[in-house]
Amino acid sequence: MEWILSALILIGAGFTLVGSIGLAKLPDFFTRLHGPTKATTLGVGAILIASALYFSTRQEGISLHELLITLFLFITAPVSAHLMAKAAIHLKTRMLKRTQGTPDFKNNQN
Amino acid sequence: MAQTQQKSRWLPHPILSLALWLIWLLLNNTFAPGHMVLGAVLAIVIPMLTAGFWQERVCVRAPGTLAKYFLVVLWDILIANVVVAKLILSPNRKLQPGFFVIDLDARHPLAISLLANTISLTPGTVSCDVSPDQKQLLVHALHLEDEAATIHDIKTRYEAPLNKVLPPC
């Protein structure tokens, strides 16, 4: 049991670290957006599963409110990413020269 | 299965009520009878008070497809996390970020927002904007190798089941 928990926490920490590294080193705003969405999904997910397992086995009764944290994160993280991306497009934030495509819809007229 | 339910006065949004009740029990981390009753009262009162914000009708079809959809999304999150972790740790100059536009088949607003949410949750893609007529979705990808294949993946893996679960009604 301890091994599973340790592995889960390490996986979670590892992915959160990679997400933060991405936030620091990626070249432009839009690519940097991808870091946090990663860290919240698998990183926090793995840590929360570990927490739920630990408190379910160590204490009487099962502990499930970690599920709620996951649920709320899964709802809020994409929304905030979406809003930031929308704002960045509106402000015409600098982006990598080699970015393919443009942040426009094909038929804007309708 | 044809559902000709009319909105009941007490439970205008049964799914919302059920969700609220479950969230209440989870928040308190208990299944004690007292909290079940209190949660039930909240689950009835809150949708009634906020009915003005819930204009669209939501009718969920094919719950089996919905369950399968969640499993597929969880699995894809797992896979995509590893892929993007590799991308982040590799040199920046190898990245080929790009924007692309998906023509939406889904018409239900909830289906579109769920699709946009899913796209943002699966690492590597972030949904950036919906066209004003809600027929196109603008997506940014961290590493775009084959635009047509990516769009095809998103449409078959995510949009098709969502459209089945939440048809326009």
Contact residues on chain B for A101, CB-CB shorter than 8 A: 98-101, 144, 147
Range of the domain at A62: 2-90
Query: Does residue A62 form part of some domain?
Result: yes
Asked whether residue A95 is domain-assigned, the answer is no
- Looking at per-residue pLDDT, the higher value among B106 and A108 belongs to B106
ipTM: 0.76
Contacts of B44 (CB under 8 A, 6+ apart): B10, B11, B17
B142 contacts in A (CB within 8 Å)? Answer: 31, 34
Q: Are B34 and B137 in contact (CB under 8 A)?
A: no
pLDDT above 60 for A107: no
Residues B17-67: tens digit of each pLDDT: 888 888 888 888 777 888 888 888 888 888 888 877 776 667 777 778 888
Contacts of A103 in chain B (CB under 8 A): 99, 128-129, 138, 140
Rounded to whole angstroms, the Cα distance separating B24 from B42 reads 9
Domain count of chain A? Answer: 1
From the CA of A35, how many Å to the nearest CA of chain B? 8
Decide if B140 and A67 are in contact by the 8 Å CB cutoff: no
Query: Is residue A80 assigned to a domain?
Result: yes
Taking the CA of residue A64 as centre, how many other CA atoms within 13 Å lie in the half-sphere pointing to its CB?
A: 12
Domains and CATH numbers, chain B: 14-53 (no CATH), 63-165 (3.30.70)
